[in-house]
Structure 1
Amino acid sequence: MMPARPQLPALTAERARALLIYNPETGALNWRVARHGTFSGALAGTRTSEGYTQVEIDYRLYKAHRVIWLIMTGKWPTHRVDHKNGMRADNRWKNLREATPLQNARNRRPGKRNSSGRIGVTQTAGGRWQAFIGVDLQNHVLGTFGTFDEASAARAAAEQHHYGEFSAVADRSGAT
């Protein structure tokens, strides 16, 4: 039987800063000190199957973007840390923002079952395109259009109006 690992207190900003170096311009997180199996300066963390980077610190796994938030602000995020451009491994500081679960959900990519490739746009049985948006737990139909582009534009305008900076269109169109 293996001995139990020591239960350490929750990660603090001071501890994270003592162990890691973060480059806000590139999003790289590197080890400040040599650790078992790695050397000082080595890239910290591994990629998860969901596309996030995770890092093990003191026998605990943390998502890198949350550790970065702790390093940069000195405190854990209250809610979630959203990747503005939707790329889960892009941990540049300008790509990270704190978000409620609802705000984070608004900034998402279409699911695998989405056949139009655009959230909130679907083709009707008659071949026309319908746009809709969810606001305050209600689904609102924005209209039926002759083309996909018209329906997509209606959805984009509604997202900007209702979701603001958390609009998926706003975040992916100009974010680098």
Structure 2
Amino acid sequence: MGLTHEHVRELLDYFPDTGEFRWKKIPHPATGMQRRHNTMRAGKIAGGKHNAVGCIVRIEGRYYPAGRLAFFWMTGRWPRSMIRHRNFNASDNRWDNLVEATPSQISRAARPHHDGSSRFKGVYLRKNGYIWTSQITLNGEVHFIGNFPDEETAARAYDVEARKHFGEDAFLNFGDEGSAQ
């Protein structure tokens, strides 16, 4: 049987403003006395850092990413797919930083990979070395936006398309103030 919402709330307190989980004191069901294994942990921060997923919490021998656990704690259900951190910091599990997202939504909000020729998302230098091309991926399909004389113009064209297709989920090369993020 899986972890129930009631059991999670019995074991842990979650603080939405900080994103922290803390262990609760748990009475033994038969005696009402504190459970020995939990007495020393009560009040302490639950979980720790993990490189791949940010913070994880171990409950009864099983590991849970803290963002997913926070979603479960707050809503009473596990996320249907994935959890996205609005500020891209997987260790920041404040409730207002967590968004339920599909893999497609996660990838379109992703920061640019700097393994190509451009420092901007959706932009690359053509093989001739003189023209910058902008493209966007929609539903797994790459769409050509255009060719541009410079990298920044191509990046701004990408931002226009990203805003149009992804709205607030878009990772933009330039914020509202016009400087690179």
Which segments of 5 or more consecutive residues in structure 1 lack a partner in the other structure? 1-8
The 3 A distance-change label for structure 1 pair 37 and 116 is farther
RMSD: 2.3
Residue in 2 that maps onto 1:4: none
| Equivalent AA in structure 2 for residue 145 of structure 1 | F
Residue in 2 that maps onto 1:16: 8
- Alpha-carbon shift at residue 22 of structure 1 (Å): 1.2
112-121 vs 100-109, greater mean Cα deviation: 112-121
105-114 vs 156-165, greater mean Cα deviation: 105-114
Query: What is the rounded CA distance, in whole Å, between the counterparts of 1:17 and 1:161 in structure 2?
Result: 40
- Alpha-carbon shift at residue 138 of structure 1 (Å): 2.3
Query: What is the rounded CA distance, in whole Å, between the counterparts of 2:170 and 2:121 in structure 1?
Result: 11
Higher Rg: 2
The 3 A distance-change label for structure 1 pair 146 and 67 is same
Q: How many residues align?
A: 165
The 5 A counterparts of 1:64-143 are 64-111=66-113, 113-124=115-126, 125-143=128-146
Q: TM-score w.r.t. structure 2 length? A: 0.81
The 3 A distance-change label for structure 1 pair 147 and 59 is same
Percent identical: 34
Query: What is the rounded CA distance, in whole Å, between the counterparts of 1:145 and 1:58 in structure 2?
Result: 56
- Alpha-carbon shift at residue 37 of structure 1 (Å): 9.2
